[in-house]
Amino acid sequence: MATWILLRHGQSVANAARRLAGWDDVALTDFGRHQARGAGRALRAHPLDLVLSSDLERASHTARLAVEAWAGDTRAVPEIVCHPELRERRLGVLQGVPLAEARRTGALDPLRTWTGVVEGAESQADLCRRVLGRLADYDEVEGTALLVAHGGVIRGLRGLLDGLAHAQIGNTKVANATPLLRVLRPGTWGRLARELQA
């Protein structure tokens, strides 16, 4: 069994501006950096045997600040392994669009569904297949793993792990820099990946 800690990045400049970021490589705000350090301190009761992150700055910076806060003055800072497969969902024509505008026009509605897309975007199903394809490489990890990623990634993984209906996953919220813990049997990520391919 392994403990996986799922952590969405701290507040980004796109979050603060209420703008859809997708693959835009945006930075954390001052508050987002504060959130990341707070998340690291909240995790001090747990060992960290593996730290994975999206390669986008808002996630990788959150991971770095969190593990530095976790380590404090008494532990070594663990290595952070970054993967592009752990990036946020590609949003296509909606990337950079104000959230209010996307809601007002209904452009966001297809993306709340499991298979819906807009031009150039990934569906939630596509996102989860991409992410699970990478996480399956870590199926035999023991101990505690920290995964720092994005709202769409964490939403999808949490929904699948908790057995939510696919139609419900897109309507759930994921708070910034709030650790979510799940205890997983070996092979869980690979099993979920295979189920999505079926």
The Cα–Cα gap between 22 and 32 comes to: 17
> Residues 9, 61, 122, 150: which is the catalytic one?
9
Annotation says 9 is catalytic: yes
> Residues 34, 83, 88, 150: which is the catalytic one?
88
Angle, CA of 165, 112 and 56, to the nearest 5°:
105
Nearest CA-CA partner of 136 in 181, 83, 178, 174: 83
**What does DSSP assign to residue 83?**
E
Cα 118 → chain centroid: 21
Q: What is the largest CA-CA distance in the chain?
A: 52
Q: Which residue has tokens 């290595």?
A: 79
Which residues are the active-site residues? 9, 88
